[in-house]
């Protein structure tokens, strides 16, 4: 990584690491003058996401967040339809992440496999013995390295929900759930129900909007007709396969919308009559390369700011879940008012020299 960043012939890098490395690897690249495409979530915690946004602006390079649906005509037309008032007042959005995930079991600690630089793999995380359940893929379910399924698959649907609602950071957060059925090494919940309240000064009644998010690992049901059938039953939509269902719902004064990766459709009025639809898949990485060749950081870096906001909502929900209580949040100060316990969880204890700096 360091040798790559030192190479003056390299213009851009793609950061595809475990979550706990995303922000630091990106910040180092930005400081070396490289353009960056960083996979989702762009940060492992709230603090380092803020620092990544600051670095992108300071060094005037392009930083693309891995929320790939941003490049899809499907998502772009969805956002325009909602923001133009197609559903009237959109008061609630829902993100759905039902992915059939079996137990990861338990494994003893063991020697580091040959060829693995485990110290470098750990990076910002604290030193621990090697364990295969904290390594390839299953690191997702360990708080040291991952963010659970809301921060894995779910961050895509969180981004769409927040984009469609037209909101940034919430003022209230509540999340509850648990790790059900399996006695194994997983730390993160496999069932999670999170709710976020956002201000809505233009609202017709209570001046707020609601975002609901649900993670479920077993027996996922369809929330709309477009998801009721699995792939084996002729479902044409890309986010539905076998027992997995991921997508979004939006509820407004005129009707509701169901959205998948490749298509959205609306149902209007009390009779839920079919309304407007949209579709289309784009190429997120092609967009990044085009932006590198014709850079406009002032415009393009809105992408990393939006990416941070979506990841931030995920992190706030996980903090509420881990503390087991509802939280008030102040978007202006980006902190929990008078709540030292919650504020401490906005960052982590970094292991030198793998430290996300306060001054980038």
Strand order in the sheet with 12-15: 12-15, 35-38, 63-65
Tell whether omega for the bond before 41 is within 30 degrees of 0, i.e. cis.
yes
Distance of alpha carbon 222 from its chain centroid, rounded? 22
- Given a cut of 70, whether residue 151 has pLDDT beyond it is yes
- pLDDT band at residue 241, thresholds of 50, 70 and 90? low
Q: Compare 351 and 245 and report the one with higher pLDDT.
A: 351
Q: Please name each of the domains of the chain with its CATH number.
A: 69-279 (3.30.360.10)
Q: How confident is the model at residue 242 (pLDDT cuts 50, 70, 90)?
A: low
Average pLDDT over residues 257-274: 94
Check residue 298 and give its pLDDT.
57
Q: Roughly how many angstroms between the first and final C-alpha of the chain, as a whole number? A: 18
Residue 179 CB neighbours (<10 A): 18
Kindly state the tokens that stand for 97: 């992440």
Helix (H) or strand (E) holding 277: strand 273-279
Question: Which residues, other chains included, contact 12 with Cβ-Cβ below 8 Å and sequence gap of 6+?
Answer: 34, 35, 36, 37, 62, 288, 289, 292
pLDDT computed for residue 303 by the predictor: 77
Average pLDDT over residues 196-208: 94
User: For residue 261, what are the CA distances in angstroms to 152, 167, 226, 281?
Assistant: 16, 20, 12, 8
91-131 confidence digits (pLDDT tens): 999 999 999 999 999 999 999 999 999 999 999 999 999 99
Contact (CB, 8 A) for 105 and 111: no
- Asked which of 106-115, 281-290, 299-308, 311-320 is least confident by mean pLDDT, the reply is 299-308
pTM of the model: 0.94
pLDDT value of position 167? 97
The three-class DSSP label of residue 98 is strand
Mean pLDDT of the chain, nearest integer: 93
């Amino acid at each position: 990584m360091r040798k790559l960043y030192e190479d003056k012939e390299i213009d851009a890098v793609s950061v595809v690491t475990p979550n706990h490395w995303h922000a630091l690897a990106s910040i180092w690249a930005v400081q070396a003058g490289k353009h960056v495409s960083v996979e989702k979530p762009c940060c492992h915690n709230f603090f380092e996401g803020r620092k990544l946004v600051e670095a992108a602006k300071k060094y005037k390079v392009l930083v693309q967040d891995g929320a790939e649906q941003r490049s899809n005509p499907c998502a772009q037309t969805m956002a325009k339809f909602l923001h133009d008032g197609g559903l009237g007042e959109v008061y609630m959005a829902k993100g759905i992440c039902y992915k059939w995930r079996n137990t990861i079991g338990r494994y003893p600690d063991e020697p580091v496999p040959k060829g693995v630089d485990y110290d470098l793999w750990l990076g910002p995380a604290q030193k621990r013995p090697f364990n295969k359940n904290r390594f390839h893929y299953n690191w997702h379910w360990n708080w040291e390295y991952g963010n659970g399924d809301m921060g894995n698959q779910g961050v895509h649907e969180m981004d769409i929900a927040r984009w469609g609602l037209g909101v940034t950071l919430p003022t209230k957060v509540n999340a509850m759930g648990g790790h059900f059925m399996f006695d194994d090494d997983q730390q993160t919940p496999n069932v999670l129900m999170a709710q976020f309240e956002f201000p809505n000064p233009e609202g017709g009644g209570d001046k707020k909007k609601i975002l609901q998010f649900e993670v479920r690992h077993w027996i996922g049901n369809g929330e709309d007709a477009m998801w009721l059938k699995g792939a084996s039953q002729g479902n044409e939509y890309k986010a539905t396969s076998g027992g997995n269902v991921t997508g979004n719902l939006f509820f407004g004064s005129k009707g509701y919308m169901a959205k998948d990766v490749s298509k959205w459709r609306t149902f209007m009025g009390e009779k839920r009559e079919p309304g407007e639809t949209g579709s289309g898949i784009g190429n997120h990485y092609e967009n990044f390369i085009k932006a590198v060749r014709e850079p406009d950081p002032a415009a393009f870096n809105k992408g990393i700011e939006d990416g941070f906001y979506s990841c931030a909502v995920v992190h706030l929900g996980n903090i509420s879940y881990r503390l087991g209580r509802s939280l008030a949040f102040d978007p202006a100060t980006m902190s929990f008012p008078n709540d030292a316990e919650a504020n401490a969880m906005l960052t982590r204890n970094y292991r030198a020299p793998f430290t996300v700096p306060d001054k980038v």
